[in-house]
Amino acid sequence: MTTTLEDRHPSRTGGESEITERRDPVRWGSDPGPLSPEQLAAYERDGFLILPDLLGPDAVDACLAATRDLSRSDDGPGLVAEPGADDELRSVFELGRHPAFASLMAMDVLAGAARQLLGSDVYIHQSRLNLKRAFTGRGFPWHSDFETWHVEDGMPAMRAVSCSVALTDNHTTNGPLLLIAGSHRWFVSCPGQTPDDHHLQSLRRQEYGVPDHDSLRWLAARGEIRPFTGAAGSVAFFECNTMHGSADNITPTPRASAFFVYNSIDNQLVEPFGAAQPRPTHLAARGDVRSVAS
């Protein structure tokens, strides 16, 4: 059942692509927090903020050990294989099951920055590992996370931020996250209509919620495409509507990343705006969500 709320960001309604101005603030409120005024200004301008070497080797090592644990677990719903390679693990969801990730995502340097950007308490909407293994790690086509979270999960407003933690060194060559600077200022509605149980396909190879080339050219003409490169322990915060994607990793070096999506406690999910059924809760927390402890 789709929601009866006014859809302020219609997409995948069966029509053509359309680019509209963003209708929500980028930074909500003016709460204090770990980010400096210069860092806040860069985030508002670009739609992302890269913090090189934010986390130390101990935190990275703990996450890598947790990654090995979670990757070994059974083939639960939170494990996603690469397209066309059922034995190659692509993503693992619901990282809070592991104490190392649970404590990292609650650290003030991460969760405090999210509260500062979103102007409220926050909860984890989604957490995932993208392993992007050496030679076989496949990329992710260009997309706005908010477009998916609005259409398929019922996220009402652009009041969420992703935190990407590099668990291995990110180079220009091993499939780093690519972001279009400034793209968060426009909403790109996508063509087509969401198939039932779309996540069973989209998390392996996304086809719906991927903007057309003309829209991507339009955005890239207004903002530089920048890679998130840096040593393991580097962190990128990116706004939920910033256009991003990444290429395949054909190099001998893995590009493993953890993603924590912080959503405002005041932006909790309603019924999907463009899908028949909500996605499972390991992809989109809903119901009795709990704020990340401050």
Identified binder of ligand 6CS from the candidate list 133, 143, 159, 255, rule CB under 6 A: 143
- Minimal distance, residue 23 CB to ligand 6CS, in Å: 21
Question: How many contiguous H segments (helices) and E segments (strands) does the chain have?
Answer: 7, 13
Residue 28's binding partner among ligand 6CS, Fe ion, none (Cβ under 5 to 8 angstroms by kind) is none
**DSSP class of 17:** -
For ligand 6CS, give the closer residue by CB, 118 or 285.
285
Are the C-beta atoms of residues 272 and 99 closer than 8 Å to each other? Answer: no
Q: Taking CB under 5 A as the rule, does residue 153 contact Fe ion?
A: no
The dihedral through the CA atoms of 118, 119, 120, 121 has a sign that is: positive
Piece in contact with Fe ion (CB under 5 A), picked from 1-9, 87-95, 140-148, 206-214:
140-148
Q: Taking CB under 6 A as the rule, does residue 148 contact ligand 6CS?
A: yes
- Minimal distance, residue 240 CB to ligand 6CS, in Å: 9
Residue 148's binding partner among ligand 6CS, Fe ion, none (Cβ under 5 to 8 angstroms by kind) is ligand 6CS
Q: Taking CB under 5 A as the rule, does residue 82 contact Fe ion?
A: no
Distances (CA, A) of 164 to 50, 80, 116: 9, 18, 17
For ligand 6CS, give the closer residue by CB, 98 or 143.
143
For ligand 6CS, give the closer residue by CB, 168 or 206.
206
Piece in contact with ligand 6CS (CB under 6 A), picked from 15-23, 62-70, 137-145, 225-233:
137-145
d(CA 237, CA 113): 9
- Minimal distance, residue 171 CB to ligand 6CS, in Å: 21
Are the C-beta atoms of residues 17 and 214 closer than 8 Å to each other? Answer: yes
Identified binder of ligand 6CS from the candidate list 67, 116, 120, 126, rule CB under 6 A: 126
The number of residues that bind ligand 6CS (CB under 6 A) is: 9
* Beta strands in the chain, from DSSP E residues, in sequence order: 18-21, 48-51, 79-82, 85-93, 122-130, 140-143, 160-166, 178-180, 186-189, 225-227, 235-239, 244-246, 257-264
d(CA 50, CA 39): 9
Q: Taking CB under 6 A as the rule, does residue 127 contact ligand 6CS?
A: no
For ligand 6CS, give the closer residue by CB, 82 or 145.
145
Alpha helices in the chain (DSSP H): 37-46, 57-72, 99-106, 113-118, 145-151, 199-202, 213-220
Q: Taking CB under 5 A as the rule, does residue 145 contact Fe ion?
A: yes
Interface contacts to ligand 6CS, rule CB under 6 A: 126, 128, 140, 143, 145, 148, 202, 206, 283
